[in-house]
Amino acid sequence: MSKIISLANQKGGVGKTTTAINLSAAVAREGKRVLLIDADPQANASSGLGVDIRSTDNTIYECLINGIDPKTAIIETKVKHLHIIPSHIDLVGAEIEMLNIPQRELILRNILEQIRDDYDYIFIDCSPSLGLITINALTASNSVIIPVQCEFFALEGIAKLLNTIKIIKSKLNPSLQIEGFLLTMFDNRLRLSHQVYNEVKRHFGNLVFDSVIARNVRLSEAPSHGLSVLDYDFNSKGAQSYIKLAKELLAR
């Protein structure tokens, strides 16, 4: 049975989708069977792994709203052992459509129960919000990775996310854990990056991953080619950061 991990932060631009793509690819590279769920209407994780959204018949939207078999929405990526259920812009309206569905917070959990035995890890790339789909993702997950960018206001909004996690633990998913806080966009030359790292470490201690994702131009370029950074430039600093993170995650 797979371990299900959400990547969540309602603050945009923190490297969440970049982490979803490249951590999934790095874990798959370690020989694990991995499924990535793109639960963000922007569908950047899908396009970043080379999926042509325009030619896909079934996405996570059809699974959530129409109740289709999730196996019909799974697409093999160019990365060995890595599959994806893509997203679609239609997902923007899904939260309103889900309001009338009984036990609407449990829809994604019930979907993943049908396929979780087929994978070792399932990662869910959440949208930058704390709406119903993100609540579905956290309710379905064993744990959550929270990317935090090494920039001013880094901790802004984290308290709200932690409160949401606390509510979900108390009402919907008692076993939900914080897998870790991941520092992203780290620039070793900047004092601010080190200050943010020390601040996050002071607040959350051992919950902070040792692995840090440095700023790297290859990380920015890879999605436009529909590739993970490991396949775009394996020797880049970005690729090596995610390989280190994958090994740390698996060791836990």
Q: Specify the pLDDT at position 151.
A: 85
Q: Specify the pLDDT at position 159.
A: 87
Q: Give the residue from 161, 70, 157, 150 showing the smallest Cα distance to 118.
A: 70
Q: Specify the pLDDT at position 68.
A: 96
Look at residue 59 and give its three-state secondary structure: coil
pLDDT tens digits, one per residue of 183-224: 999 988 989 999 999 999 999 999 999 999 999 999 999 999
Q: Specify the pLDDT at position 142.
A: 98
| C-alpha to C-alpha distances, 112 to 2, 239, 243, nearest whole angstrom | 10, 29, 26
Strand partners, 125: 7, 38
Separation between Cα atoms, residue 44 and residue 26, nearest integer Å: 18
Separation between Cα atoms, residue 10 and residue 148, nearest integer Å: 11
| Phi-psi category of residue 13: left, alpha or beta, with phi > 0 → left and psi -120 to 50 → alpha | left
Cα atoms in the Cβ-side hemisphere of radius 13 Å centred on 50: 16
Q: Whose structure tokens read 């603050």?
A: 11
Q: Specify the pLDDT at position 54.
A: 87
**Sequence spans of domains, the chain:** 3-246
The most distant pair of C-alpha atoms in the chain lies apart, rounded to whole Å, by: 52
Look at residue 167 and give its three-state secondary structure: helix
Separation between Cα atoms, residue 68 and residue 218, nearest integer Å: 37
Task: Find out if CATH 3.40.50.300 is the number for domain 3-246.
Answer: yes
Q: Specify the pLDDT at position 155.
A: 80
Q: Specify the pLDDT at position 70.
A: 98
Strand order in the sheet with 121-126: 75-76, 82-85, 34-39, 121-126, 3-7, 143-149, 177-186, 208-214
Query: Would you tell me the crossing angle of helices 237-251 and 16-29 to the nearest 10 degrees?
Result: 70
Per-residue pLDDT of the chain (252 residues; tens, 9 = 90+): 899 999 999 888 899 999 999 999 999 999 999 999 999 999 999 999 999 988 898 999 999 999 999 999 999 999 999 999 999 998 999 989 998 899 999 999 999 999 999 999 999 999 998 899 999 999 999 999 999 999 888 888 888 899 999 999 999 999 999 999 999 999 889 899 999 999 999 999 999 999 999 999 999 999 999 999 999 999 999 999 999 999 999 998
CA angle 230, 232, 233 (to 5 degrees): 70
Q: Specify the pLDDT at position 156.
A: 80
- Helices and strands per DSSP (H, E), number in the chain: 11, 8
At residue 188, φ and ψ (nearest 5 deg) are: -60, -20
**Hey, what are 28's tokens?**
């798959």
